[in-house]
Amino acid sequence: MYNTIKKETIEALKQIDTPSICNAIEGFNVKPKNQGFMLPEIKGVLPELPPAVGYAVTAVICANQPEGHTVSREDWWDLIASVPQPRFIVMHDIDNPPLGAYWGEVQSNIHKALGAVGVATDGTVRDLDEVRALGFQFFAKEVSASHAYVRLVEIGIPVTVGGLTVHTGDLLHGDKHGVTSIPFEIADQIPDMVKTIADYEEKTISVCQSPDFSMEKLKEIAKITRPY
């Protein structure tokens, strides 16, 4: 039902920072360079944690109204279990501005037990010390003290968070810099492209850090074809 990539590729992607992933995607020219990643408003709230990689599971939440349509937690858990591991939760908060946090110590423990590695939300999160110790990644718009009336409104539908439209099953990568989507057709080739780009960039960096740096050497390096 859902696309997947090799476990070895997932492990390799977990060793790469998100900017390098974005550079590598650009190297394949499969989409415009200004698309495919979340806007800076979605921040890595626990930046010291390592990169998170997983298949998206989407939902919509609301915290400002005490009553209204609510999806049961059990149905949500069943949807999560239907998506391959590792899982990367993506929640759109329909409150504007966001108010109550769905995400804290308890939900992070539940979702980690269900095979999730983190969440990206344009809502809020809390219990940062406890979640940091758990190693569950938070990518969020805000931090909040209360959960207010937070509830699930929809699950499994396409959601737009930080300008990126995400479908359940999409492949996501996130670290302290933000969150990006990885096209399945190039996922297995990303690690090699990352190395190609790193080798290219190292030429420029080496010249710049050399004790005998010169403008002429910099201009000579600039003639090398850029891989992304």
CATH no. for residue 175? 3.50.30.40
If you average pLDDT over residues 147-153, what whole number do you get? 97
Domain that holds residue 157: 7-182
pLDDT digits (tens, 9 = 90+) for 79-98: 999 999 999 999 999 999 99
User: CA-CA distance, 26 to 29, in Å (whole number)?
Assistant: 5
Q: Note the pLDDT of residue 11.
A: 98
Residue at 224 is within a domain: no
Residue at 221 is within a domain: no
pLDDT digits (tens, 9 = 90+) for 167-178: 999 999 999 999
User: CA-CA distance, 3 to 209, in Å (whole number)?
Assistant: 43
Q: Which of 91, 88, 83, 38 is nearest to 60 (CA)?
A: 91
Residue at 193 is within a domain: no
Residue at 199 is within a domain: no
Note the pTM of the prediction, 2 decimals. Answer: 0.96
Q: Note the pLDDT of residue 1.
A: 85
Residue at 111 is within a domain: yes
Which region among 52-56, 75-79, 161-165, 221-225 has the lowest average model confidence (pLDDT)?
A: 221-225
Residue at 209 is within a domain: no
Number of domains making up the chain: 1
Residue at 101 is within a domain: yes
If you average pLDDT over residues 129-152, what whole number do you get? 98
Residue at 201 is within a domain: no
